[in-house]
Amino acid sequence: MSDREDHEELNGLSGLGRSLERTLVAIISGEPAPVEPALPPVELTLPPKPEFGDVSTPVALAVARQTGRNPRELADELGRRWCAGPGAAVCERFEVAGPGFLNLFLSDGWYCGATRAMLALGGDHGRGVLPAERRQKVNIEFVSVNPTGPLHVGHARYASMGDALCRLLAFAGHEVTREFYVNDFGSQMVKFGQSLAARYAQRLGIPMPVPDDGYQGDYLLEVADRLIDEVGERYRAAVAAAAPDATRVPAEVADELRSWGRDAILARFRDTLQRLRVPFDVWTSEASLYAGGATFRGFEGEVGKALRELDDDGELFDADGAVWLRTTDYGDDKDRVLIRQTGAPTYFLSDIAYHRDKMDRGFGHLIDIWGADHHGYVPRMKAMFTALPPHDPERLELIIGQMVNLLESGVARRMSKRRGDIVTVDDLIEAIGVDAVRFFMVARSHDSTLDLDLDLAVEQSSKNPVYYVQYAHARICSVLANLTREQGGETAPPHDEWPFADVVVGPYERNLVRTLARFPLVVLEAVERRGPHRMHAYLGELAAEFHVFYRNCRVLTDDAEVAAFRTGLCVATRTTLAKGLELLGVSAPQSM
RNA sequence: GCGCCCGUAGCUCAGCUGGAUAGAGCGGGAGCCUUCUAAGCUCUAGGUCGCAGGUUCGAAUCCUGCCGGGCGCGCCA
């Protein structure tokens, strides 16, 4: 690598790391007994205190273990060779501290160069941080639910988290497909059809209660109203003859009502999810997995195909009049029924066919996001996936999201599906707005339960994190607008002609630049740890860092070079805030 | 009984593939608007990282046991 390339590469945090890595490899490979080339990556951290330098790395500690060298000596050699060589242009001095930390003190030139580099990248700063060899075609299935009633707050969490994860994965370099699995098959749907039949009858003045184990919510009355608008009294005779027992409605009629109701609920899903800014690429119907194609014991389509394949591989057995999958061969604690005594398939069978089909569609990696109430299902899923080609359970990843508690006036609101007392996603959006829903729902790690404080979410103050971050963005826009007005000129010149020269960089600017430079690492962490909440936390930090900078450094100042540099910092911060918010599905307002 | 998740400041939580004196927000206390948005900023108090062992030069982080809380444990979905 030429000096010039090397110098340009040093503009980013990860570039610094790679440069240090090359020096480290040179040191190690010069040893009498060279170690294996698999060195840990040089991880740069922002030290906790300014005395520890601008950036810092514990890499000598990790490598010392492998090489048997004294970590402080190794850190010192790395510091000396790098600062005298590749790092000479950007590093003023280094210190070895504690057990073997290498602390680097960077020059003003590095800060200016890093800022110029980020401006040149614009919205692409942080894009494609994933190395090419780790990029995959990923399918993420989330929200998936049976279309029997409105989406509730739990779904809002999985939808927000799943979509944010999709945006992050795609930005980092994966090829992402968002998939919604519609559980429109099985006994729950039968109950749904009967429940709708009852509501339809009620609207026509025929006494027919919703079955005890049916869907009691009022929303089915609205669905029934629309049904009547469309079909009038077409089913009156059939329903009246069955009254008052909804389960006695003739199967053909119940089927038609169920199908109509399914479509009505699905339309509402699409509408809700669109408002929530969650765009699904693929909707797969469970029922459709049973249609067409090859057959196995009367099962067609994808389900028949999956059964045939498992049977050929000797994974199935008959017992107690049912057909089972021997999941205990792959770590499950009991075997699982696929075809019941009655001949009806289980939900698990559908899921096998579904996941087999997803692999068939050429995805390198599958992710399912489920609620905690389904976590008991994980071992059999892993077992099933091991039984199916390519027999690699690592390629199916199950993310279990914990529950959501709604707090009103500080107390938890208990919801009951049976009472029909649920807070829907639509209710939530209406109450606090899409931005607050999206931002709050990714505030916590997925395996932590989440308390959503409804009073806080609508509060327009710095206590409310979403306003705090959005305000920072709006504030920058305002500053830049003033600048445009006062100078009557361009706010943002073409990136590659950014005019500022190297200036003296103060402590507030330094902190802001380093926080901005961390953005690609945050994207990478959020992707690798499947933790969109890391972006949420980062945006809070970046906003805070900007507010401090803003309070202490006037952008519109007499010194033209300083003003240009600070304007550049504002532009870079605005771009980064906007990108981070976008990755979480939150808007970045120009003014507030 | 078994399985998964959680247990860190008064509250809500980050940090967990081992690294420096454990962080943030809210809440408590004290301040800051003639200056680009005070929806902001500064300072301050507050912690045996549930408990007990173990591994390690080094443990909130890894291992074992225990305690407390949440969620599951259907030929429901």
- As a whole number of angstroms, the distance between CA A103 and CA A105 comes to 7
CATH of the domain at A489: 1.10.730.10
Closest residue to B42 measured CA to C1′: A548
**Contact yes or no for A105/A50 (Cβ under 8 A):** no
Q: Please report whether residue A233 resides in a domain.
A: yes
The confidence band for A498, taking pLDDT boundaries of 50, 70 and 90, is low
Q: What is the pLDDT of residues A322-341, one digit of tens each?
A: 999 999 999 888 999 999 99
> CA torsion sign, A589 to A473 to A438 to A419?
negative
Query: A14: helix, coil or strand?
Result: helix
Q: Which of the pair, A294 or A582, is modelled with greater confidence?
A: A582
Half-sphere exposure of A477 (CA within 13 A, CB side): 15
Torsion of the alpha carbons at A152, A154, A159 and A161, rounded to the nearest 10:
160
**Contact yes or no for A157/A143 (Cβ under 8 A):** no
pLDDT at residue A494 is higher than 70: no
CA distances from A44 to A59, A60, A549 (A): 9, 12, 23
pLDDT at residue A489 is higher than 70: no
pLDDT at residue A37 is higher than 70: no
Half-sphere exposure of A364 (CA within 13 A, CB side): 9
E strand or H helix at A354: helix A347-360
User: According to the model, what pLDDT value does residue A169 have?
Assistant: 97
The confidence band for A31, taking pLDDT boundaries of 50, 70 and 90, is low
Two structure tokens written together for A250: 């003739």
pLDDT at residue A159 is higher than 70: yes
The residues facing A226 across adjacent strands are: none
- Name A414's Cβ contacts closer than 8 Å, sequence gap at least 6: none
Q: Please report whether residue A522 resides in a domain.
A: yes
Q: Please report whether residue A170 resides in a domain.
A: no
- Of A69, A84, A106, the residue at which a domain comes to its end is A106
pTM: 0.94
Same domain, A102 and A208: no
- Of A218, A241, A275, the residue at which a domain comes to its end is A275
Find and list the nucleotides of strand B having atoms within 7 Å of a protein beta carbon. 2-6, 12-17, 19-27, 35-42, 57-58, 70-77
Q: What is the pLDDT of residues A85-114, one digit of tens each?
A: 889 989 999 999 888 889 999 999 999 999
CA distances from A458 to A88, A152, A161, A467, A584 (A): 51, 19, 20, 9, 18
Which nucleotide lies closest to A55 by the C1' atom and the CA atom? B20
User: According to the model, what pLDDT value does residue A38 have?
Assistant: 58
Distance of C1' in B54 from CA in A61, Å: 23
The confidence band for A35, taking pLDDT boundaries of 50, 70 and 90, is very low
- As a whole number of angstroms, the distance between CA A257 and CA A224 comes to 9
- Name A171's Cβ contacts closer than 8 Å, sequence gap at least 6: A126, A127, A128, A523, A583
Q: Please report whether residue A573 resides in a domain.
A: yes
Distance of C1' in B37 from CA in A526, Å: 31
E strand or H helix at A101: strand A101-106
Phi and psi for A285 in degrees, rounded to 5?
Answer: -85, 130
**Contact yes or no for A194/A216 (Cβ under 8 A):** no
The residues facing A138 across adjacent strands are: A176, A365
Q: Please report whether residue A259 resides in a domain.
A: yes
The confidence band for A292, taking pLDDT boundaries of 50, 70 and 90, is confident
Phi and psi for A151 in degrees, rounded to 5?
Answer: -70, 140
Radius of gyration of chain A (CA): 29
Closest residue to B22 measured CA to C1′: A48
Which nucleotide lies closest to A351 by the C1' atom and the CA atom? B77
Tell me A183's DSSP state: -
What total of structural domains would you count in chain A? 3
pLDDT at residue A205 is higher than 50: yes
Q: Please report whether residue A114 resides in a domain.
A: no
Same domain, A102 and A199: no
Distance of C1' in B73 from CA in A401, Å: 18
Q: Please report whether residue A496 resides in a domain.
A: yes
- Of A106, A127, A154, the residue at which a domain comes to its end is A106
Distance of C1' in B16 from CA in A582, Å: 28
User: According to the model, what pLDDT value does residue A458 have?
Assistant: 82
Q: Please report whether residue A268 resides in a domain.
A: yes
Same domain, A478 and A574: yes
* Structural domain boundaries enclosing A62: 3-106
